[in-house]
Amino acid sequence: MSVSLIKKDNNSFTLQLTFSYAKSMLQGEKNILDVINTAGAQATEQLLKHFDTDGGPITVGNQNFTSKGLQGKDYQTPYGPCRVDRHIYQSHSGGKTYCPLEQDARIIITSTPKFAQMISSKYTQFGVRAVIADLTNNHSRTVQKKLVQDVSEAVGTIAMAKEESWEYELPELDKPIEGIAIGLDGTCMLMKDEGWREAMAGTITFYDKLGERMHTTYVAAPPEYGKDEFLKKFELEIERVKEKYPDVYRLGLADGARSNWPFLTKHTDHQLIDFYHVSEYVGSVGSAMFVGHKEREEWMEDRCHKLKHNMGGASRLLTEFKEMKATAKSCDKPVLSKAISYFENNDTEDRMQYYKFADSALPIGSWATEAACKVIVKERMCKSGMRWKNDGAKIVLVTRCLHETDGRWEQFWNKVDRYGFNVAA
């Protein structure tokens, strides 16, 4: 098995690949992958050289640079490392050197952009060890832990630096948008020096007239004292949506935390407390007040139905809870007191008017945000043995949101390809 360069000119080059038969199909496929990786590394070497200068003087900004000659360097590619002799420049006054090839080829640390995209994509899904194992087992590509960490950190740095200035287009939707649901929630993750603390996740979800979800934009932030950084990021996304769809109805959804409502009131036309959080209180009262399973289930089903479909359903339930408390056993009164307090705090703010939305395109439950807490935060940040520092958590969450929001990962890399790593960072 071999790879050889047989033709090259200013416009193209040709490689010749030779394969040998193997005794088993699996071994044969492994051999094919090895040859293709060898060819890919050689092809990338030729491609990289194409981005170098001829060694003549260049001007960068208002400074003149001259070549110090060709110097070799190893670059990491999807197929394996390749060594390239390229020109290194420096101004007459000395100072930092400059490599045109690395700028024009969009090199990230020592990685080609495609390999950086592969590594950072996998890192949004797995820890470092799993990324290394995946590259080894599925790509026959051996890398070091430091490469995965350095490249992923560099990509995350770009993403964070450009959060405010890089705008991302929504994917092309095949149906008109009937409504937009905006939700936020918190979930705990383990920090290295602070123990378990609350990270935040937010969603902006678009629905058609039949109530089918068409697109969700994800925003997340690691634990912070207060929610200022998260809310700033989330507000920026919401304002872009409001600017593009100023006439589309926006519904705010959250659990009962008081801190959620000032933010949602500012950005939505109406706010609802998540129906399933409310139904849990109905369930706790039912469990306390009814011994028989059938009677309890019938009562809970009836009350949840009325809460969802009837005007004033929450107020009537609140009255019923108070009447129950007057005759309840002392051991059951704390459950009723908790439910009464919850309903009093939220029903008076019209956050339980589910009947207005029960038959609309918009949901009455914050399932999209609950799912974001699981998919964006829990599934990646809370694997066995993981503890995070703030900077590392930021990098993973910002890139994971880009990766999980339809269309954004591709748009992000298109911008890196357009502007370059140094300019972007």
- Segment 279-338, tens digit of pLDDT: 999 999 999 998 888 999 999 999 999 999 999 999 999 999 999 999 888 888 999 999
Which pTM was predicted? Answer: 0.91
- Segment 343-364, tens digit of pLDDT: 988 866 789 999 999 889 999 9
Residue 183 has pLDDT above 90, yes or no: yes
Q: Looking at residue 197, what is its pLDDT?
A: 95
Distance between CA atoms of 332 and 328, rounded to whole angstroms? Answer: 6
Residue 422 has pLDDT above 80, yes or no: no
Per-position b or e across 142-159, b if 16+ CB within 10 A of its CB: ebeeebbbbbbbbbbbbb
Decide yes or no: CATH 3.30.420 for domain 179-274+365-406.
Answer: yes
Distance between CA atoms of 248 and 38, rounded to whole angstroms? Answer: 53
Residue 424 has pLDDT above 60, yes or no: no
Residue 111 has pLDDT above 50, yes or no: yes
Q: How many CB atoms lie within 10 A of CB 300?
A: 18
- Segment 154-178, tens digit of pLDDT: 999 999 999 888 999 988 888 999 9
Where are the chain's structural domains? Answer: 1-105, 116-168+408-425, 179-274+365-406, 276-347
- Segment 24-51, tens digit of pLDDT: 999 999 999 999 999 999 999 999 999 9
What is the DSSP secondary structure assignment for residue 363, as one 8-state letter? -
In this prediction, residues 182-196 reach a mean pLDDT of 94
Q: Which residues does 195 contact at the CB level (< 8 Å), separation at least 6?
A: none
In this prediction, residues 94-99 reach a mean pLDDT of 90
Q: What letter represents residue 371's amino acid?
A: A
Q: Looking at residue 359, what is its pLDDT?
A: 84
